[in-house]
Amino acid sequence: MASFFENQQLARRNTKLLVPMFALAVAGVIVAVDLFICGLYAWNPLGGPETRFIPLGIQFKAVPDALYLWGAAGTAALIFAVSGWNVMQLSRGGAAVAEMVGARRVDPGTRDPLERRLVNVVEEMAIASGVRVPAVYVMDGERGINAFAAGYEVSDSIVAVTRGTLETLNRDELQGVVGHEFSHILNGDMRLNIRMIGVLAGIVFIGSVGEYLMRGPDGDTRGRGALNYVLGPVLLLIGYIGLFFARLIKVAVSRQREFLADASSVQFTRNPDGIAGALDQTRVKPAGSFIAGWHAEDLSHMYFGQGISVRMSGFFDTHPPVEERIQRVHSRFDRESYRRSRPPAMRGLEEGDEDAQGAREKRVAVLAAVLATGSAIPPTGRRGADQGAQWGRSATENANLVGSMDSAKVEYATRLLAALPVKLRETLHEAEGAAATLVALLLAPKEGVMNFQLEALTAAGWGEMAERARRAQALTRNLGAAFHMPVVDLALPAIKAAPEAAKQELLAALEAVIQADRRVSLHEFVVLTLLRNQLAPKGRPSAGGSRKIADLQFDALTVLSLIAHAGTRQDAAGARADNLQAAMRAGTKEMGLSEGPPTARLTLQRTEAALESLKQLAPLQKAVLVKGLFAAVTSNGTIRVAEAELMRLVGAVLDCPLPPLLESIDPAMLAA
**What letters, b where the CB count within 10 A reaches 16 and e where it falls short, cover 305-323?**
bbbbeeeeeeebbbbbebe
Residue 382 predicted with pLDDT over 50 = no
pTM (two decimals): 0.85
d(CA 383, CA 215): 70
Nearest residue to 632 via CA among 643, 641, 642 = 643
d(CA 215, CA 236): 11
Residue 650 contacts residue 671 (beta carbons within 8 Å) = no
Domain-by-domain residue ranges, the chain? Answer: 1-348, 384-401+544-669, 422-535
pLDDT of residue 488: 93
d(CA 87, CA 100): 12
Longest CA–CA separation in the chain, Å: 107
Amino acid, res. 505? E
Q: How many CA atoms lie within 13 A of 261 on its CB side?
A: 31
Residue 480 contacts residue 118 (beta carbons within 8 Å) = no
C-alpha torsion 152→155→156→159, nearest 10: 100
DSSP 612: H
Positive or negative, the CA dihedral 92, 428, 490, 545 is: positive
Catalytic residue among 142, 181, 258, 608: 181
pLDDT in tens, 339-364: 989 888 876 564 445 444 444 444 44
Residue 228 predicted with pLDDT over 70 = no
Computed over every residue of the chain, the mean pLDDT equals 82
pLDDT in tens, 137-184: 999 999 999 999 999 888 889 999 999 999 999 999 999 999 999 999
Those residues with Cβ within 8 angstroms of residue 254's Cβ, 6 or more apart along the chain or in another chain: 193, 301, 318, 319
d(CA 20, CA 84): 17
d(CA 551, CA 185): 28
Q: Is 524 helix (H, G, I), strand (E, B) or coil?
A: helix
pLDDT of residue 386: 60
Q: Is 211 a catalytic residue?
A: no
The larger pLDDT score, comparing residue 261 to residue 519, is at 261
Q: Is 569 helix (H, G, I), strand (E, B) or coil?
A: coil
Give the gyration radius of the chain's Cα atoms.
Answer: 28
Helix, strand, coil percent content, the chain, rounded in steps of 5: 65, 5, 30
pLDDT of residue 356: 40
Residue 641 contacts residue 664 (beta carbons within 8 Å) = no
